[in-house]
Amino acid sequence: MQKQNTFSILFWLQTSRAINNEALIYARITVNGKRLNISLKRKVSVSLWDSSKKRVRGNSIQARQINQSIDQTHTKLFQIYQDLKFKGELITAHLIKSHYTGETNESKSLQELLKYHAKKIENTLAKGSIENFGVTENYINRFLLKSRRTTDIYLNQLDYKFLCDFESYLYDYWPKGHPRTMSQNTVMKHIQRFRKIITLAYHIEWIEKDPFVKWKQVYEKKEREFLSENELSNLETLSFKIERLERVRDLFVFSCYTGISYVDIMQLTDSNLVKGMDGSTWIVTHRQKTKSKVKIPLLQQAENLIKKYENHPLTTSAQTLFPIITNQKLNAYLKELADICGIKKNLTFHMARHTFATTVTLSNGMPIETVSKLLGHTKIATTQIYARVLEDKLSQDMNNLRQQLEGKSKNNDSASKLG
């Protein structure tokens, strides 16, 4: 049985705070004995207020305007109460006031959502992910200024057309210092982040409908570049006269044999080295990106590189396994390495992780489930992007199939001759 609410509206004058014999008019709403005051932001002379009728005395223009405002406020408050009652909501004085003042979820704006989302992720996501969301937010704000001539909109104004217009804006935008406009996948990444922000608003019930319901993201399939076995070998064995290039090469090769990302390698210390149950040396760490724990048994190539730098002045002072270097410098020096080694690919440090997944592990028969665990992926679908069939493996498998079919054919010929 639905609970019956007691509800009343009373108008009164706050004479205790009167200035020059003028005081503010308030509406007092009471629900089930709990009351709350709302200022009408109208002042009236104390001598003109009729405390029994709760109205302004007289027939002056000011009196008629104030009394009309009181009547309109009464009608609006009563209508809000009736609407909430019809919806079957738990009615409180605070809820009625919030609807009257426009402070309900229906009036939440996009900027309020962006601030709430930024606060929510500041201690839960990695620094890089937070920065990426910041870039997307900047594009949203630029889009609002250019296309809507405003800095903010209500969330209930977000619709499918808004998403289409935002997508078109991103396709046409030419980032400063870039050789061309955004690629298909870059645009989709920004849309994906925006979608996560809007989904948050839907889950916390700041919007009633998700504008992304019918939205479909389309990514261009791109092959993840990696070093072949021959390219990796050439890089490993190359001698350098410049020490900084040798250090960068060693960091890259270490990642090729462990799959550990740049940011995680920079944080490795002696405490991350443990003896595994098999007696070999393991690295135990947490991925900064996903916070997932990673346990990696070291291959000999990786272990040799750790020993190479264990007494190096740069690692001794920083108390890390490898010399510290910024990601920007690291990738810049890798371009030099590529030129020296004759590697025509766009050599970036993240390519080392791709090389570990493809050339070092999967192409040598390691199960994808194990590779996924070593990479610290939270979903095996993420690892499956590396599970490509290499040309030499394809050739080997076809040769095996060819030999089996030829063998069957010979057996069939022998059997027919005997018959």
Q: Are residues 295 and 347 in the same domain?
A: yes
pTM of the model: 0.58
Going from the C-alpha of 137 to that of each of 28, 110, 115, 121, 300, the distances in angstroms are 42, 10, 10, 14, 45
Q: Which of 294, 290, 327, 350 is nearest to 125 (CA)?
A: 290
Task: Answer yes or no: is pLDDT of 136 > 80.
Answer: yes
Taking residues 357-378, report their average pLDDT.
87
Give pLDDT, residue 3. 58
Q: Are residues 380 and 246 in the same domain?
A: yes
Q: Which two tokens stand for residue 41?
A: 């932001």
Amino acid at 282: W
Going from the C-alpha of 340 to that of each of 77, 238, 244, 250, the distances in angstroms are 77, 9, 14, 15
Taking residues 110-117, report their average pLDDT.
94
Taking residues 337-346, report their average pLDDT.
87
For residue 152, tell me if it sits in a domain: yes
Q: How confident is the model at residue 403 (pLDDT cuts 50, 70, 90)?
A: confident
Q: How confident is the model at residue 390 (pLDDT cuts 50, 70, 90)?
A: low
Q: Which of 181, 233, 217 is nearest to 343 (CA)?
A: 233
Task: Answer yes or no: is pLDDT of 388 > 70.
Answer: no
Mapped onto helix, strand or coil, the DSSP state of residue 179 is coil
Mean pLDDT, the chain, integer: 87
Q: Are residues 372 and 235 in the same domain?
A: yes
Q: Are residues 352 and 318 in the same domain?
A: yes
Q: Are residues 252 and 375 in the same domain?
A: yes
CA gap 52, 207 in Å, rounded: 43
Residue 190 belongs to a domain with what CATH number? 1.10.150
Residue-by-residue DSSP string for 250-270: HHHHHHHHH---HHHHTT--G
Q: Which long-range contacts (CB under 8 A, 24 or more apart) does 322-329 make?
A: 322/247, 322/250, 322/251, 322/254, 322/265, 322/266, 322/268, 323/247, 324/266, 325/247, 325/248, 325/251, 325/266, 327/262, 327/263
Give pLDDT, residue 1. 40
- Show the domain range for 128: 107-203
Q: Are residues 71 and 179 in the same domain?
A: no
Task: Answer yes or no: is pLDDT of 341 > 90.
Answer: no
Q: Are residues 183 and 250 in the same domain?
A: no
Q: Are residues 236 and 379 in the same domain?
A: yes
For residue 217, tell me if it sits in a domain: no
Sort residue 156 into left (φ over 0), alpha (ψ -120 to 50) or beta: alpha
Residue 266 belongs to a domain with what CATH number? 1.10.443.10
Total structural domains in the chain? 3
Q: Are residues 179 and 137 in the same domain?
A: yes
CA gap 80, 78 in Å, rounded: 5
Q: How confident is the model at residue 279 (pLDDT cuts 50, 70, 90)?
A: confident
Higher-scoring residue by pLDDT: 104, 152: 152
Task: Answer yes or no: is pLDDT of 162 > 90.
Answer: yes
For 149, other C-beta atoms within 10 Å of its C-beta total: 7
For residue 414, tell me if it sits in a domain: no
Q: Are residues 152 and 254 in the same domain?
A: no
Of 185, 203, 221, the domain-final residue: 203
Taking residues 366-395, report their average pLDDT.
76
For residue 215, tell me if it sits in a domain: no
217-226, 294-303, 406-415: which range is least confident on average?
406-415
Of 103, 122, 143, the domain-final residue: 103
For residue 411, tell me if it sits in a domain: no
For residue 198, tell me if it sits in a domain: yes
Q: Are 26 and 42 in contact (CB under 8 A)?
A: no
State the first-to-last Cα distance of the chain, in angstroms, to the nearest integer.
Answer: 90
For residue 406, tell me if it sits in a domain: no
Task: Answer yes or no: is pLDDT of 10 > 60.
Answer: yes
Q: Are 330 and 349 in contact (CB under 8 A)?
A: yes
Taking residues 324-347, report their average pLDDT.
88
Task: Answer yes or no: is pLDDT of 236 > 80.
Answer: yes
Taking residues 394-419, report their average pLDDT.
71
Give pLDDT, residue 29. 93
For residue 88, tell me if it sits in a domain: yes
Q: Are 25 and 67 in contact (CB under 8 A)?
A: no
55-69, 229-243, 269-283, 381-395: which range is least confident on average?
381-395
DSSP state of 209: S
Q: How confident is the model at residue 258 (pLDDT cuts 50, 70, 90)?
A: very high
Of 74, 103, 132, the domain-final residue: 103
- What's the angle, vertex CA 288, arms to CA 312 and CA 231, rounded to 5? 60
CA gap 354, 363 in Å, rounded: 12
Give pLDDT, residue 394. 62
Q: Are residues 97 and 133 in the same domain?
A: no
Q: Are residues 358 and 331 in the same domain?
A: yes
Q: Which two tokens stand for residue 31?
A: 């629900």
In this prediction, what percent of the chain has a pLDDT beyond 90?
47
